[in-house]
Amino acid sequence: MNSTTEISAQDMFTETAVGKQNRYIENAVKIFFLIMTCLMILPLLLIIGYLFYKALPVLSLDFLFTNPQDNMRAGGIWAPFLGTIYLVVVSLLVAAPIGVFAAVYLNEYARDNWFTRIVNLAVVNLAGVPSIVHALFGVGAFVLFAGLGESILAASLTLAIMTLPVIIASTTEALKAVPMAFREACWNLGATRWQTIRRIVLPNSISGILTGVILQVSRAAGETAPIMFTGAVFYKAIAEGDIFAYNITDQCMALSLHLYTISTQVPDVTEGIPYGTAIVLVGSVLLVNAAAIVLRVYLRTRKKW
């Protein structure tokens, strides 16, 4: 008797035909998804690798810190590099406070009525407007109507208008991630909305908010259309190594436009220069994104619930 029960217990867990089929399908599906993931990463690695390989002959600190020379056929990228930094910084200085505080208002103060619904609808739609449309708006509103002329200020404001809806959306997400129960606890202790925001909501959403804002750096740095009619120029020499070389009422060069120019408009450019420009553009953006990730991880270790 004993031995028969043992045999049946051993049989009980052996794989059936259906089980075997399921296991094959499971493995096949897993491998399929893995391949898709690799396909996603592969182009990124190839692009960066290829850029690096091609840019290697020109890459040096000098490349970063000298102006383009010889009708942009030689030299470095100092003027466009600094120009891009100016454009990004000024546009974020404008867009980040407006976007973040608007999102705080919409989330923490505004009631659900026709006004907030229209604002939210506008935010979603603005995020989908092509950048060339923002560019035309920038020309009309900032360059001509506001009389700023083609300048860093006008271009930055155009970029700010473009990044604003995305900053509002990402801030909204970050605020929504703070549990409602914390707000209720505060309100029931007689806290005003501002005390609730200041002491509980913001400290617990700041990492998400900052990440959302910083990710806009890459968009602002990469766009060409919104700046080419509003403040960016093909060529402008500035003092090398001086980070205050631009005035915000000046026109400036920008990496994205410079890359377009030397790749398509100027013949006989030293081969490495466009690739070097691209590497600097991609590299700076990746660096900023990496900083965002580090910041996010750091701030997240301080919040637990």
Partner 1 sequence: MDTINYSIETENLSLWYGDFQALIDVSVKIPTGKITSLIGPSGCGKTTLLRCFNRVNERYGNVTTKGEIKILGKNIYDQDVSLLELRKTVGMVFQRPNPLPISVYENVLFGLRIHSPFRSLTRTQTDEIVEDALTSVFLWDDLKDKLKTRATTLQLEQQQKLCIARLLPLKPQVILMDEPCSALDAKGTLAVEELMSVLAGTYTFLIVTHNMAQAKRVSNECIYMFLGELIEHRETQALFETPEHPKTADYVQMRYG
Question: How many CA within 13 A on the CB side of residue 251?
Answer: 16
Tell me the closest approach of the beta carbon of residue 206 to partner 1, in angstroms.
13
User: What's the burial of 213, exposed, middle or buried (CB within 10 Å: 0-12/13-18/19+)?
Assistant: buried
* Amino acid occupying residue 117: R
Tell me the closest approach of the beta carbon of residue 201 to partner 1, in angstroms.
10
Residue with Cβ nearer partner 1 (4 or 188): 188
Kindly state the helix (H) or strand (E) to which residue 11 belongs, with its residue range: helix 2-12
Under rule CB under 8 A, which residues in 188-207 are in contact with partner 1?
Answer: 188-192, 195, 199-200, 203-204
Tell me the closest approach of the beta carbon of residue 188 to partner 1, in angstroms.
4
Alpha-helical regions (H) of 14-109: 17-55, 61-65, 78-104
Residues in contact with partner 1, shown as a per-residue x/- string from 158 to 187 under the rule CB under 8 A: ---------------------x-xx-xxxx
Tell me the closest approach of the beta carbon of residue 261 to partner 1, in angstroms.
51
Structure tokens given for 285: 């953006």
Residue with Cβ nearer partner 1 (2 or 301): 301
Query: Which residue carries 């100027």 as its tokens?
Result: 266
Tell me the closest approach of the beta carbon of residue 294 to partner 1, in angstroms.
22
Tell me the closest approach of the beta carbon of residue 106 to partner 1, in angstroms.
14
The reply on whether position 112 binds partner 1 by CB under 8 A is: yes
Please give the full DSSP string across 233-296, using - where no structure is assigned. -S-----TT-TT---TTS-B--HHHHHHHHHHTSSS--THHHHHHHHHHHHHHHHHHHHHHHHH
Tell me the closest approach of the beta carbon of residue 292 to partner 1, in angstroms.
22
The reply on whether position 301 binds partner 1 by CB under 8 A is: no
Residue with Cβ nearer partner 1 (105 or 187): 187
* 3 state DSSP class of 161: helix
Residue with Cβ nearer partner 1 (98 or 191): 191
Residue with Cβ nearer partner 1 (197 or 262): 197
Q: Are 238 and 246 in contact (CB under 8 A)?
A: yes
Residue with Cβ nearer partner 1 (16 or 188): 188
The reply on whether position 120 binds partner 1 by CB under 8 A is: no
Tell me the closest approach of the beta carbon of residue 191 to partner 1, in angstroms.
5
List, in order, residues 6 or more apart from 42 with CB less than 8 Å away: none
The reply on whether position 265 binds partner 1 by CB under 8 A is: no
Residue with Cβ nearer partner 1 (32 or 194): 194
Strand partners, 68: 75
Neighbours of 60 (CB within 10 A): 12
Q: Are 234 and 80 in contact (CB under 8 A)?
A: no
The reply on whether position 114 binds partner 1 by CB under 8 A is: no
The reply on whether position 304 binds partner 1 by CB under 8 A is: yes
Residue with Cβ nearer partner 1 (163 or 172): 172
Residue with Cβ nearer partner 1 (101 or 109): 109
The reply on whether position 11 binds partner 1 by CB under 8 A is: no
* 3 state DSSP class of 77: coil
Task: Please give the C-alpha separations between residue 296 and each of 18, 140, 205, in angstroms, as whole numbers.
Answer: 46, 38, 10
User: What residue ranges bind partner 1 (CB under 8 A)?
Assistant: 111-112, 179, 181-182, 184-192, 195, 199-200, 203-204, 303-305
